[in-house]
Structure 1
Amino acid sequence: MNKKREKHHLSFNINGVEHRLSVLPWVTLLDAIRENLSLTGTKKGCDHGQCGACTVLIDGRRILSCLTLAVMKNGASITTIEGIAKENELHPLQQAFIEYDAFQCGYCTPGQICSAIGMLNEGKAQTREEVQELMSGNLCRCGANRGIIDAIMDVKRKMYE
């Protein structure tokens, strides 16, 4: 068999659950999550790392899953939007997005929330302007950016200060 066509056997801890799968070497983490594991909350937007719709958390850090090969993250602990809420309680950012009307169509919302959690974990954003700058890799084409930043600032004040 052609070595390039051999599937790689991978394992991930996704949202607290161990998953094993076999993928070709060029399969992105985004496609492995969506197509192999049927976790479709993570969205495919531009497929070039420019919109942020595919953002997931790996060990609490935000990454663009469309630019990451699945084989690069073998053994990783990954959190997708499906793993953000705990039991029947929304994550504070999910709740804030509702309260601040931080979405319209909702397509970018999973990536926005995962990116915001990762950004807050980084501890770099101190002001509204810094939050806006550090979230600039996540695009909302519907124009809900004001609500998104308001929601993030509210959670930042309540949980990270």
Structure 2
Amino acid sequence: MTTVTTPRSTRKLPAEYRGRLMSMAHDVRYSPDTRLFDEGGRADHFWIVESGTVALDLRVPGRRATVIDTLGAGELLGWSWLYQPPVWRFGARTVGPVRAHEFDADAVRRMCQADPEMGRSIALWVGEAVVRRLNAARTRLLDLYAPYGSGARG
């Protein structure tokens, strides 16, 4: 285990649970253009990005994988580990060098089962990331494939 700073993405977790979660982190580094996981693969880890950028992509039949979102410092990478079956719903690759805090999904799930209130807090935290990712995916796919785009005005 390593001593880690508090990523902004975990600030919504109560301090006790945030500390317990971060105590399980392992620091990792990835080179540019490293494939972290593929859609449909077993989701057995997740990360909080410390620095760098990760591109999330989605397979689209008859086309190349489409980047649907990018994640940067402080953001949660990977939510599929929390839901059954634990398979990746998107794919991910590093855009440049990435440093991150990596977590073993099985260990975190066991900790959440042992402390249901912590489990509830983690589920709500991860659920917020799910909503952001699905909204980003919807908007990106509408921009790419709908006749008139998403209609979003910036």
**Same fold (TM > 0.5):** no
- Which has a greater percent of strand? 2
Task: Between the two structures, name the one with larger relative contact order (CA 8 Å, sep ≥ 6).
Answer: 2
More helix by share: 1
TM-score, normalised relative to structure 1 = 0.29
Q: So what's the TM-score if we normalise by structure 2?
A: 0.30
